């Protein structure tokens, strides 16, 4: 199982290096799709979450950074757990960038 | 003959009072707002996002339904704005889109929460809430309410748990042990709930002794403890952190 995820992850990185913008967007979409499928299988599994995180960091790190900062700000003005807001902000960023 | 009539009157009065004291059903609509609506200067660059959240909060409503022993707390779906980011953030801030179920007999609390679409049932116990009761009172609508405070853990930044005071106002006149967002265990219905940053307030209330309300216990989702849920959620997010 590990091998499959490594192959998938490295295929995605490899294609980024030589891809044009349109191909990069497609690859980002594939990365997000993989991430969503994996976390949907079982988000409490250490192995699955580990590889889902690798794939999403390699393919679409921008929205993660944006959502991380935004979730800290909203958490401090509302007093709600940061993790509660993070998922919504990531998805919103992906939607805004046409990746979902 | 006179004694006979008196006996019938007494039986009727007694049975009526037993029925009314035994059955209590109700529906309460709650709204949520940020207590201090100004945007802190250090977050001025995120003013639009915070304003979006405030607009979402203005439109959001939650419904608490209860009978004598059980309650459910849910947000009221509004199809036209469900996809709006401000509304989604408002739902997250207000307690999420899953059902919060409380059983005052078994002391069971089930909070249905979603992580990226996967449902979880966070199981806890009403007795875990160590309320401190105060004599301070205030009127909320027509009900005399008493103050109570409990301390809970909140993770404002992942990995940094802080203590937060939750102040509530409960009405002993409505003798059920429920409240918004899965809070309860007090000698009366909670009509207002304040965190340091937000206020959950009553918009309307309807109680009845006859209109039977059936409370459905949520079953969809893997059952976890609050700590387990936090671990699962954080694990999913933690690697995203800048520089990780």
The larger pLDDT score, comparing residue B100 to residue B5, is at: B100
- Average pLDDT across chain B, whole number: 86
How close is the nearest chain B Cα to the Cα of A83, in Å? 7
> Band of the pLDDT at B136, cuts 50, 70, 90?
very high
Q: Could A77 and B235 be called an inter-chain contact, meaning their C-beta atoms sit closer than 8 Å?
A: no
pLDDT of residue A8: 66
Question: Does the pLDDT value for residue A17 go beyond 70?
Answer: no
Query: For B188-243, what is each residue's pLDDT tens digit?
Result: 999 999 999 999 999 999 999 888 888 999 999 889 998 898 888 888 787 666 44
DSSP state of B46: G
- Yes or no: say if A31 and A58 are a contact pair by the CB < 8 Å rule: yes
Whether A88 and B233 lie within 8 Å, measured CB to CB: no
Kindly report the nearest CA distance between residue B199 and chain A, in angstroms.
Answer: 10
pTM: 0.81
Express as a percent the part of chain B with pLDDT over 70. 86
A93 to chain B: closest CA residue = B85
Question: In angstroms, how far is the first alpha carbon of chain B from the final one?
Answer: 89
Quote the crossing angle between the two packed helices A46-59 and A21-42, to the nearest 10°.
170
The average pLDDT across B32-46 equals 81
Structure tokens at B203: 């918009």
Is the predicted ipTM greater than 0.95, yes or no?
A: no
Size of interface A-B (CB pairs under 8 A): 112
Per-residue pLDDT tens for A50-80? 888 788 877 888 888 888 888 989 998 898 8
**Inter-chain touch A53–B46, beta carbons under 8 Å:** no
Task: Give B154's pLDDT tier (boundaries 50, 70, 90).
Answer: confident
Which two structure tokens, joined as six digits, stand for A25?
């967007």
For A19, the token pair is: 């891809």
Q: B197 at the A interface (CB within 8 A)?
A: yes
- pLDDT for the residue numbered B12: 44
Q: Which residue of B has its CA nearest to A42?
A: B118
Query: How far apart, in Å, are the Cα atoms of B43 and each of A32, A69, B49, B207, B244?
Result: 29, 11, 10, 43, 24
**What secondary structure does DSSP assign to B126-186, as a single string?**
GGG---EEEEEEEEETTEEEEEEEEEEEEEEETTEEEEEEEEEEEETTS---B-GGG-B-S
**Partner-chain contact A75 B241, CB within 8 Å:** no
Return the residue of B nearest to A39 by Cα.
B116
């Amino acid at each position: 199982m590990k091998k499959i995820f490594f192959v998938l992850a490295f295929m995605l990185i490899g294609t980024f290096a030589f891809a044009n913008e349109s191909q990069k967007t497609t690859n980002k979409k594939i990365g997000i799709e993989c991430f969503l499928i994996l976390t949907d299988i079982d988000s409490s599994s250490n192995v699955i979450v580990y590889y889902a995180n690798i794939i999403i960091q390699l393919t679409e790190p921008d929205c993660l950074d944006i959502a991380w900062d935004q979730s800290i700000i909203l958490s401090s003005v509302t007093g709600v757990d940061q993790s509660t807001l993070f998922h919504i902000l990531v998805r919103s960023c992906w939607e805004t960038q046409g990746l979902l | 003959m006179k004694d006979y009539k008196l006996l019938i009157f007494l039986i009727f009065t007694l049975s009526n009072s037993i029925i009314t004291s035994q059955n209590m059903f109700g529906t309460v609509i709650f709204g949520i707002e940020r207590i201090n609506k100004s945007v802190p200067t250090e977050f001025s660059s995120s003013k639009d996002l915070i304003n979006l959240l405030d607009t979402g909060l203005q439109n959001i409503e939650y419904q608490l339904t209860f009978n004598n022993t059980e309650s459910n707390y849910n947000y009221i779906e509004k199809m036209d704005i469900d996809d709006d980011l401000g509304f989604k953030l408002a739902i997250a801030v207000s307690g999420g889109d899953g059902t919060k179920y409380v059983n005052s007999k078994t002391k069971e609390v089930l909070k249905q929460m979603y992580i990226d679409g996967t449902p979880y049932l966070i199981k806890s116990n009403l007795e875990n809430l160590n309320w401190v009761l105060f004599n301070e009172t205030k009127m909320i609508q027509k009900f005399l309410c008493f103050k109570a405070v409990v301390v809970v853990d909140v993770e404002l930044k992942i990995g940094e748990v802080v203590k937060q005071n939750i102040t509530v106002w409960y009405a002993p006149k409505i003798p059920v042990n429920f409240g918004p967002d899965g809070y309860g265990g007090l000698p009366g219905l909670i009509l207002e709930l304040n965190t340091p940053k937000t206020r959950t307030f009553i918009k309307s209330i309807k109680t009845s002794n006859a209109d039977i309300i059936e409370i459905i216990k949520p079953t969809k989702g893997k059952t976890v403890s609050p700590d387990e849920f936090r671990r699962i959620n954080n694990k999913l997010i933690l690697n995203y952190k800048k520089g990780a």
